[in-house]
A and B are shown apart, each in its own frame.
Chain A
């Protein structure tokens, strides 16, 4: 099934407020923003009432799990694309830990093609760093880069590239085609059978701890490696205050490191684990409120460049069980923007331009997603999300587009609602529904 709607030649987004600033009519012609006209002056066959809605460049998710191929019971490229579009995204990076692993040109081309067929967002496959995520032998990074999928982001996400030599070689090798290694920073020996953040609470609950040092020690090593070989490094889902400190230090030294934080690490803390409800089981784990505050600060000052969802759908049976048997991961695509508005915008830590930077411009730049994150300005590709900043909504996992239901925000009231989305001039979401 395809959502590839025919693009009308001209679309006017009437009365929108780019970055929450002055109202304009955004005139889109042939997939490009032709003009930002005074409100009420633009005319076209298709006029979208965007009165008072905030216009941002279409969101870009640097970290999504779409589960296809292999776990189509949990998510497919099609259902994940729907969730992404409804969440305000125009591009997502699909992680490599599928079955089979996306470690060859063939698999990444398949994922790329499925994304194009779904036609809602650009799906950029992430290539595995090592064969089968095994951590011992480099995957054919060049072949994936040169494939139709044009892979630029490589990651063993779900597993850490813990071998220092292999990590060094990967960092060096991808320079040849402007790639980046996105590291899942987790020292494996320090986190054997780890179930939750290691601290007072893990001791009380009798759950094996996942200590902050297991993340921080790998990040420290990797920024030094990246410096040594002059490569760029991206750090996935930063979750601790110490990690923020290390990355801040590295950036101050001029090391080319970028980092992401997930919405759930911005909003939720380990206290939720007291319920033993596996919907709160995630890797890296929910941390303490002190960590959350450090992440807010890091995202606000630019130490952390990106909010990425780590959208991780899981079939019901992998969550409807005891904690120890449950899978790690949470849904995120349809709630990310609202969580960022709640934690960063309404608190004054970021303005709308800041939100656009962390959720669109920066991830597009890091992932080399051409045509995305171009901004709401004349001449830019018309990938735009229109958000109602005043609306609030209550999260009902049954109502989400994902095939899975493992949202940790069930029943929570969140601010800001995605109303309309254009991807390269085509309307993918209209009035909060997928455009048909």
Chain B
């Protein structure tokens, strides 16, 4: 693996290797000195064209725990008309000797472009691009699912995961469908038809318009953020109607099997896709997802940068 651009870059073996590596590295987090010398002397650049404090901090912490030097590069705008171009930014980072570039960009495919246009030589990690993918989010979700529901080892064979919300605009959903299916899970997407992408019926998952039909047979339910402003583009009539039809409230929580967990990639819209009671319940694992995010990102950087040898 040279880059991590899409969850589709990982076959089951590679995905399980990332998860197993993350599990080993997670042990470091439990020590009083939370640091490994593995990436000493290597430089990881966090190139964020979009505000995302939580993802940036997670990558920053992951790199620092591996002793890498971390540079945070927050760029505003991207097209030629709005400031420095992606290309010039990339050339700058290359000149500074970045070993890995973690990129968050509002344009789908920007990480792919960065990795293939010949601008830089280092590894590229997609930290979320437009409405395309967010592969490390999918990895941390798989890690969390595995730890809770599969004893922390192997794949996710037969695990029933329901993903609810704005699939159309969600990079989290795309990466999760790909990765969880690769790991053997049975994924169901639930959304109003307006918030499902064209061609979703060819994805490796089931599709439903009815959350209440899906919940009783779910081992985990993942709620996606839904922006209330989508109502202005007629994706749904009102925030209240959306919330009634697709929101996870206390009654719906009761419809889940007892062992089922509730996930959310954050940031949550309490009262929209998830009620405050559910978000704060002991079934919700959002805080643990954040912790696992650091471990999984450590594993990705470790595997991409080839451990401690310092060789490229």
Contacts and interface: CB of A to CB of B under 8 A. Distances in A.
Interface in B21-56: none
Interface in A59-88: none
Contacts of A320: 85, 87, 117
A276 B112 CA distance: 7
Interface string B70-100: 0000000011100001110000000000000
Nearest to A325: B79
Interface string B90-116: 000000000000000111111011001
Contacts of A198: 198
Contacts of B107: 322-325
B200 interface: yes
B79 A321 contact: yes
A198 B78 CA distance: 25
B133 interface: yes
B76 to A, nearest CB: 14
B199 A206 contact: no
Contacts, number: 87
B198 A203 contact: yes
Nearest to B85: A321
B297 interface: no
A194 to B, nearest CB: 12
Contacts of B174: 204, 206
Interface stretch (B10-18, B124-132, B282-290): B124-132
B310 interface: no
A317 interface: yes
A276 B198 contact: no
A325 B199 contact: no
B266 interface: no
Interface string B173-198: 01000000000000000000000011
Interface string A274-305: 01110000000000000000000000000000
Contact of A206 (B80, B117, B133, B202): B133
Given A317-B85, A321-B80, A325-B80, A209 B198 contact: yes
Contacts of A205: 108-109, 132
Contacts of B109: 205-207, 276, 322-324
Interface residues of B, number: 29
Interface in A226-283: 275-277
Nearest to B112: A276
B171 interface: yes
Counting contact residues on chain A (CB < 8 A from B), the size range is 20 to 34
A186 to B, nearest CB: 18
Contacts of B171: 206
A322 B105 contact: yes
A200 B197 CA distance: 8
Contacts of B116: 275-277
B113 A323 contact: yes
Interface in B239-291: none
A298 B86 CA distance: 41
A431 interface: no
Interface centre among A205, A211, A277 (most CB of B within 10 A): A205
A51 interface: no
B87 A321 contact: yes
B78 A206 contact: no
Interface string A397-421: 0000000000000000000000000
A211 B78 CA distance: 26
Nearest to B86: A322
Contact of B130 (A204, A275, A324): A324
Contact of A323 (B108, B197, B198): B108
A209 B200 CA distance: 13
Contacts of B130: 206-207, 324
Contact of A276 (B78, B80, B113, B131): B113
A206 B198 contact: no
Interface in B192-220: 197-200, 202-203
B199 A204 contact: yes
B279 to A, nearest CB: 27
Interface string A181-201: 000000000000001001111
B177 to A, nearest CB: 10
Interface of B: 78-80, 85-87, 105-110, 112-113, 116-117, 129-133, 171, 174, 197-200, 202-203
Q: 6 tightest A-B contacts by CB?
A: A200-B199, A206-B132, A203-B197, A276-B109, A324-B107, A325-B79
27 contacts: A200-B199, A200-B202, A202-B197, A202-B199, A203-B198, A203-B200, A204-B203, A205-B109, A206-B129, A206-B132, A206-B133, A207-B109, A207-B131, A207-B132, A209-B198, A211-B198, A275-B112, A275-B116, A276-B110, A317-B80, A321-B80, A321-B85, A323-B108, A323-B110, A324-B79, A324-B130, A325-B107
Given A276-B110, A321-B80, 10 more contacts: A206-B109, A206-B174, A207-B130, A211-B198, A277-B113, A318-B80, A321-B78, A324-B79, A325-B80, A325-B86
